[in-house]
């Protein structure tokens, strides 16, 4: 009798272990409240929180969203304290790869691995405890944005742009400038060269012509960049938002999220149309676009956390999110448009059309770089804008970036290889 009871206990323990493995549960015991850390604040998070609440009604679990603009600093502090969120949403695969290599991230289990859509979720090779290398996927995109766009007011001509530039963005100031240089690399040199550069295989000195071209844009018409270029990329002095609302510029290079500041008074156009010598799709060009994304990753593994990640990438959650968003704030998702009860705005519909027609999409280069190189790139842009005509300054900046690239290659922190892909149609 005791032997049978012992056998039942043993079998029960095995069943629990099997269920845990299937669910990807290698962390703490199951909890009914999950914490989701993300980048959206100041009302931008409202439709996402509503989508989370809708999921909660289906599952019976409670999800608490915590938004912050200092996402990296907050997450690092929580990891150091041993209290990470269950799920975090980040826009940098370079940072995510760093967490994966440090053992802070859990690879996606089989039941959700299909949500790892390229190029937003490339594989990462990590050394396991036994020394063997394992290549897995660790995150999945839940929202995406199209870059390689120029926005202009509908009441101005598309030609002869006067560029709006604002590089300030809190702790990550400089990225609107790196976006320009990344886009010039993609449009001028193509996706293969772009990928080589973003993954550390190309010396920074070869990017000099791109910096010079951007410098000519900044100084066109005799302009001298100053404090205005270093100001906030979206907030104006009088509390309004959107650089196109300043009145002294006509065109802005920015991702598709920026439409929320403008309503129906702006139009998106591919960057390539403003660059002489870049072939169109009809002329055999790649019709390539840079993209960004908000990727969900599990830092505290549990069956509930994996279930949430799977639901966040589902059509039902996307539809709920889209329904809760304003027409000019409706999120984009991998695989094409998501049906919603409210029609999309004109700008949203046009961005979706460009997304669907893209010939090649490449993840944001600086977001894919090791964080130290990305931060150095941001700082270099901010310094370059101070005097774009100074060739000696550009020499020094490129030298510093090249030294950082070589250091990161020596330390083997470039772990991402595939940043470009053909658009995925569902």
Cα distance between residue 413 and residue 200, in whole Å: 10
Residue 159: predicted pLDDT: 80
Is the per-residue pLDDT at 2 higher than 60?
no
Average pLDDT of span 284-293: 95
Residue 132: predicted pLDDT: 81
What angle do helix axes 371-386 and 93-102 make, rounded to 10 degrees?
150
Q: Looking at the chain, which residues constitute the CATH 3.40.190.10 domain(s)? A: 28-144+293-337, 146-290+352-421
Q: What are the beta bridge partners of residue 251?
A: 152, 163
Q: Helix or strand or coil: residue 228?
A: coil
Cα distance between residue 113 and residue 310, in whole Å: 9
Residue 342: predicted pLDDT: 80
pTM: 0.89
Residue 283: predicted pLDDT: 86
User: In whole angstroms, how far apart are CA 296 and each of 91, 117, 251, 299, 320?
Assistant: 9, 12, 33, 10, 17
Write down the mean pLDDT value for the chain.
90
Beta pairing class for 251-253 and 266-270:
unpaired
Cα distance between residue 290 and residue 275, in whole Å: 15
Is the per-residue pLDDT at 426 higher than 80?
no
Is the per-residue pLDDT at 8 higher than 80?
no
Q: For the structural domain made of 28-144+293-337, what CATH number should be given?
A: 3.40.190.10
| Model confidence pLDDT, tens digit, residues 388-406 | 999 999 999 999 999 999 9
Block residue for tokens 């101005």: 156
Residue 9: predicted pLDDT: 33
* Interacting residues of 71 by C-beta distance below 8 A, sequence separation 6+: 37, 38, 39, 88, 90
Closest CA to 45 of 154, 147, 142, 115: 142
Q: Helix or strand or coil: residue 43?
A: coil
How far is Cα of residue 145 from the mean position of the Cα atoms in its chain?
8
- Tell whether the torsion through CA atoms of 70, 71, 73 and 78 is positive or negative: positive
Cα distance between residue 391 and residue 384, in whole Å: 10
| Model confidence pLDDT, tens digit, residues 254-282 | 999 999 999 888 999 999 999 999 998 88
Cα distance between residue 7 and residue 300, in whole Å: 32
Cα distance between residue 68 and residue 78, in whole Å: 13
Residue 425: predicted pLDDT: 52
Is the per-residue pLDDT at 20 higher than 70?
no
Is the per-residue pLDDT at 146 higher than 90?
yes
Measured in degrees and rounded to the nearest 5, phi and psi for residue 277 equal: 90, -5
Cα distance between residue 294 and residue 375, in whole Å: 19
Cα distance between residue 93 and residue 364, in whole Å: 9
Closest CA to 361 of 141, 146, 74: 146
Class at the top of the CATH hierarchy for domain 146-290+352-421: alpha beta
What angle do helix axes 315-324 and 46-59 make, rounded to 10 degrees?
140
Cα distance between residue 290 and residue 261, in whole Å: 21
Is the per-residue pLDDT at 311 higher than 50?
yes
Residue 1: predicted pLDDT: 35
29: pLDDT confidence band, cut at 50, 70 and 90?
A: very low
32: pLDDT confidence band, cut at 50, 70 and 90?
A: low
User: In the 8-state DSSP scheme, what is residue 270?
Assistant: E
Cα distance between residue 405 and residue 383, in whole Å: 18
| Model confidence pLDDT, tens digit, residues 76-129 | 999 999 999 999 999 999 999 999 999 999 999 999 999 999 999 999 998 877
């Amino acid at each position: 009798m005791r032997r049978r009871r012992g056998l039942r206990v043993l079998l029960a323990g095995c069943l629990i272990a099997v269920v845990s493995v299937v669910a990807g549960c290698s962390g703490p015991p199951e909890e009914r409240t999950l914490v989701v850390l993300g980048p959206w604040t100041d009302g931008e998070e409202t439709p996402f929180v509503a989508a989370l609440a809708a999921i909660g009604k289906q599952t019976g679990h409670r999800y608490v969203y915590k938004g912050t603009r200092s996402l990296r600093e907050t997450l690092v502090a929580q990891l150091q304290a041993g209290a990470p969120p269950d799920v975090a949403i980040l826009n940098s695969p370079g940072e995510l790869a760093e967490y994966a290599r440090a053992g802070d991230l859990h690879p996606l289990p089989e039941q959700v691995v299909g949500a790892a859509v390229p190029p937003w979720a490339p594989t990462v090779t990590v050394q396991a405890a036994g020394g063997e290398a394992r290549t897995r996927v660790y995150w999945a995109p839940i929202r995406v944005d199209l870059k390689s766009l120029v926005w202009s007011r509908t009441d101005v001509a598309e030609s002869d742009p006067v560029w709006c530039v604002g590089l300030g963005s809190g702790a990550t100031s400089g990225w609107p400038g790196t976006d320009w240089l990344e886009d010039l690399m993609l449009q001028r040199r193509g996706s293969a060269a772009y990928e080589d550069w973003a993954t550390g295989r190309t010396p920074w000195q070869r990017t000099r012509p791109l910096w010079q071209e951007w410098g000519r844009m900044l100084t066109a018409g005799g302009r001298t960049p100053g404090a205005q270029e270093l100001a906030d990329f979206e907030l104006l002095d009088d509390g309004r938002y959107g650089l196109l609302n300043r009145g002294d510029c006509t065109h802005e290079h920015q991702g598709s999220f920026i439409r929320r500041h403008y309503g129906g008074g702006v139009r998106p156009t591919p960057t390539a149309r403003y660059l002489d010598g870049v072939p169109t799709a009809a002329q055999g060009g790649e019709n390539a676009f840079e993209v960004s994304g908000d990727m969900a990753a599990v830092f505290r593994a549990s069956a509930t956390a994996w279930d949430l990640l799977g639901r966040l990438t589902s059509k039902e959650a996307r539809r709920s999110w889209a329904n809760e968003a304003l027409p000019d704030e409706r999120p984009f998702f991998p695989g094409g448009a998501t049906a919603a009860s409210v029609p999309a705005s004109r700008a949203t519909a046009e961005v979706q059309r460009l997304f669907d027609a893209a010939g090649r999409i490449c993840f944001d280069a600086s977001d894919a770089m090791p964080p130290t190189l990305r931060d150095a790139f941001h700082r270099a842009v901010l310094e370059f804008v101070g005097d774009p005509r100074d060739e000696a300054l550009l020499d020094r900046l490129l030298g510093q970036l090249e030294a950082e690239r070589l250091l990161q290659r020596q330390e083997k922190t470039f772990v991402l290889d595939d940043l470009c892909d053909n658009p995925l149609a569902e």
